[in-house]
Amino acid sequence: MDALQKALDQLDQATAAVRLAVQDLANAPAGDAAGNAAHALSGGAIDPFVFRFAIFVLAIFVGYYVVWSVTPALHTPLMAVTNAISSVIVVGALLAVGIAASGLAAGFGFVALVLVSVNIFGGFLVTQRMLAMYKKKEK
């Protein structure tokens, strides 16, 4: 009988953890919800910060291997797409600077604007160098 009661208690704890995870999914960003769900389902053994940090580290490795496996022939079109994505980020950074309610938001928006501008212009320079490799050399 004690084993049955213990199993029922564990089932209640798991149900509460799932309810908490569902509430987190509805109210919080995906990373917070996943971290809180892992924390709840593991009985507090996994800290949400550690869970999010592990995802960040895995993303670094995946990004590294994806970028270094690109062939040189595909580099130029991919740089063009990257520059297009960065131009969308410029719009967001300009909005952050323009309609910021606090000085902190405006500061972060300005930093984002500077970094994205460097990324775009650097991308164009790299793209020009890559395209120059395919031009016929004049004698």
**Residues 8-60: tens digit of each pLDDT:** 677 677 676 666 665 655 565 555 666 667 767 777 677 777 878 888 899 99
Q: Same domain, yes or no, for 16 and 79?
A: no
Residue that finishes a domain, picked among 49, 69, 89:
69
Q: Which pTM was predicted? A: 0.43
Residue that finishes a domain, picked among 69, 90, 115:
69
Measured torsion, CA atoms of residues 31, 34, 36, 41, in degrees rounded to the nearest 10: -170
Q: Same domain, yes or no, for 44 and 108?
A: no
Q: Same domain, yes or no, for 58 and 113?
A: no
CA distance linking residue 71 with residue 50, whole number of Å: 35
Q: Same domain, yes or no, for 65 and 77?
A: no
Range of the domain at 94: 71-139
Domain count, the chain: 2
